[in-house]
Amino acid sequence: MTDKNAILFWNRLLPEPESEDVADALRCDVRDPLWLLARQWQLGEFKAEDAGMAAFSHIIAHTTPLQRFSPPGQPSSPLPMDAPLDTTVERIAPEFDLPMRMEAGRKWRQMLLQAGKQDAWDTFCQTNLLQFKPPALEFNPENAELRAYYHEPYAQTLAALGNGRTVDGGKLYAELQVRKASDFLSSPNTSVDVLGKEWLDWVHERLGIAPTNPMSCWDPARLEYSAMAAASLPGDAAAFLQAPEHNGQLMEWHTWEQIKGDQAGLKNDLNPGNIETHRRTLIPAMVSFPGMPRARWWEMEDNTIDLSNVRANKTDTGLLLLTEFSLLYSNDWLLVPLALPKGVLSKIQSLRITDVFGVQSFINKQYAAAPNSDWGLFQIGTPTSSGWLWLPPVNAARLQSEPLEEIKFIRDEMANLVWAVEKTIPDGLGGSIDGASIALGMEAWLHTLAGEAPDSALPTPSFTADFAYRIGNTVPTHWIPFVPVRPDPNNAQMVLRRAAMPRLIDGRTPTRIRPRTQILRNPDSNPAHYDIREEEIPAMGLTVRSVWRRTRWVDGHTVTWLAREKSLGRYPESSGLQFDQLIEK
């Protein structure tokens, strides 16, 4: 119980100025050392607290690199370290556009001429199967070459390459997948076959296609990337990491998370010998940040520090904690830089601090003996691998092109479907073009090829009635529908399956309007149809873009790759699709 009869005493020291001049006080002259010692004794500053300044830090750390990498549903392979990890995850194999077909053909010519195979090159140029040919100008909406031929610059470039002037690299690549290069010659030629394999390797490197792992990490059903990786841990253990929902934007350490369980496909071929131990002795440095209060008594603060601008309410816990750290404990923190290799999982095994009096303190000893399971800042691991810090080998800066493809997914609640609007499509020449304008021009051209005017397909209205009945209106041809279906009758899970709007031209059999972008093509894993998870398209919609990216890696060489990125829409939209309309004339 509290003693009510206790008497409390306070000592309060007040200065007594002898003049109005404050110059003597600001100089802080030391006139009576004994008086200062007495004040230190009075304030309890002679009690030992082992508060010597840190002089050295001794660190023991373990690192283990990621060794195995696996796209979803594919066997694992060694993780390539000659490119950033986000490049490996995001890389999409581009299609053969016209410049790439020209470049591949010139490369094949260069390789043959350097090997003294002029006759072989002449034979390849005369092969009708490998020549550039303009498509036949007949009504055939299914011909992809014809759809691109409508673009006038594409038609002019293709016409200039005709008549056997060079070899179509795209056609040559498709043929060399199933046959040898010398099959186009009159007799077998081993040296030409070797050149054909070297040319295929060049195409794979140029397009970013890995022959041993041709599938990408792009998940078309979720419109995002997914990848897995593995690394060895001490004690014959392994750490399995997964990037389940990478949207194609910046990749950070928190993009990855720990996978529980034993992933046998990833654990194979792991080498425990890659685990390294690092021992460093470093000098700690004071932590500093912009706006930090001055720690020295006679150092004046300037206008970079405005403590009165800290406006925090009682509920702003985070701001209050940050302010308290900045004002009271900012000069109590030390920084010990530890350089680690790229792409490793690292863990501090021991941290020993030696102060100026020679007293040593083990910072991590207590934590290692009894780790706190509730604390996991900057950790991605489970309790089986807690304490490991993940340093993903990603690029810090990169250049990005304008969108090569841009698809806007819109939820249309009135029509009960999702529209994939091709806002930007490739022009076939390495660039892009507006999807709406090219769709209108393409429809007009197809009507012309069909032998009729674009407006002749519309029904002639009757002028004998005040109203006209219309079964339904339509949407632009660059709007691709995705309808909700239930693949399994015994499962309530719904998916959005790509459908097609009909192309109606008088006198012609109705055809399906096909997408013109690579994003909306059928995935290789399911060539029968294209399904998107129903929950992946929010009410605000989505935007998916294909862009070229370029960065410089740690060894100085540049890396270029085609990637996709997903972002949320801004507001709900509607297509205006309606049926059974009564229109007033």
Domain-located, residue 307: no
Question: Whole domain around residue 252: which residue ranges?
Answer: 67-89+216-271
Looking at the structure, do residues 106 and 73 belong to the same domain, yes or no?
no
Residue 188: CB atoms within 10 Å: 10
Domain-located, residue 314: no
Looking at the structure, do residues 200 and 220 belong to the same domain, yes or no?
no
Domain-located, residue 330: no
Whole-angstrom CA distances from 280 to 58, 243, 344, 350, 387 are: 6, 32, 17, 11, 19
The residue from 183, 207, 231 where one domain ends is 207
The pLDDT, as a whole number, for residue 369 is 46
Domain-located, residue 228: yes
Looking at the structure, do residues 267 and 413 belong to the same domain, yes or no?
no
Cβ atoms of 92 and 564 closer than 8 Å: yes
Q: Is the four-CA dihedral 78, 83, 87, 92 of positive or negative sign? A: negative
Looking at the structure, do residues 161 and 257 belong to the same domain, yes or no?
no
Looking at the structure, do residues 229 and 83 belong to the same domain, yes or no?
yes
The residue from 172, 207, 242 where one domain ends is 207
The pLDDT, as a whole number, for residue 264 is 62
Domain-located, residue 317: no
What is the chain's pLDDT, residue by residue, as a tens digit (585 residues)?
Answer: 556 666 666 777 777 777 777 777 666 676 777 877 887 787 777 776 666 788 889 999 889 888 888 887 777 788 887 788 888 889 888 888 888 888 988 999 999 999 898 999 889 888 888 888 887 777 777 777 777 777 778 888 888 887 778 888 888 998 888 889 888 888 888 999 999 999 998 888 777 665 444 557 888 889 999 988 888 888 778 888 888 889 988 888 888 888 776 666 677 778 888 888 989 999 998 888 777 777 766 677 777 777 777 788 888 888 888 888 777 777 778 888 888 888 888 888 888 989 888 888 887 654 444 456 666 666 776 544 567 888 888 888 889 999 999 999 998 887 788 999 999 988 888 888 888 888 888 888 887 877 765 444 444 444 566 667 666 667 788 888 999 999 888 888 889 999 988 887 877 788 888 888 889 988 876 777 889 998 999 888 899 999 999 999 888 888 888 999 999 887 666 666 666 666 665
DSSP single-letter state for residue 25? H
Looking at the structure, do residues 221 and 190 belong to the same domain, yes or no?
no
Looking at the structure, do residues 151 and 230 belong to the same domain, yes or no?
no
pLDDT in tens, 494-548: 899 999 888 878 777 888 888 888 899 888 767 778 899 989 998 888 999 999 9
Domain-located, residue 23: no
Q: Using alpha carbons, select from 431, 447, 429 the residue that is nearest to residue 439.
A: 447
Looking at the structure, do residues 463 and 557 belong to the same domain, yes or no?
yes
The pLDDT, as a whole number, for residue 364 is 64
Distance, CA of 398 to CA of 401 (rounded, Å)? 10
Cβ atoms of 389 and 551 closer than 8 Å: no
Q: Per residue in 224-237, is it b (16+ CB within 10 Å) or e — as a string? A: bbbbbbbbbbeeee
Identify residue 576 by its one-letter amino acid code. Answer: G
Let me know how many helices (H) and strands (E) the chain has, helices first. 13, 25
Number of domains making up the chain? 3
Looking at the structure, do residues 552 and 427 belong to the same domain, yes or no?
yes
pLDDT in tens, 201-253: 888 877 766 544 455 788 888 999 998 888 888 877 888 888 888 998 888 88
Tokens of 450: 């069909």
Distance, CA of 194 to CA of 107 (rounded, Å)? 15
Domain-located, residue 467: yes
Cβ atoms of 508 and 448 closer than 8 Å: no
Domain-located, residue 365: no
Looking at the structure, do residues 489 and 512 belong to the same domain, yes or no?
yes
The residue from 207, 229, 247 where one domain ends is 207
Looking at the structure, do residues 84 and 114 belong to the same domain, yes or no?
no
Looking at the structure, do residues 137 and 172 belong to the same domain, yes or no?
yes
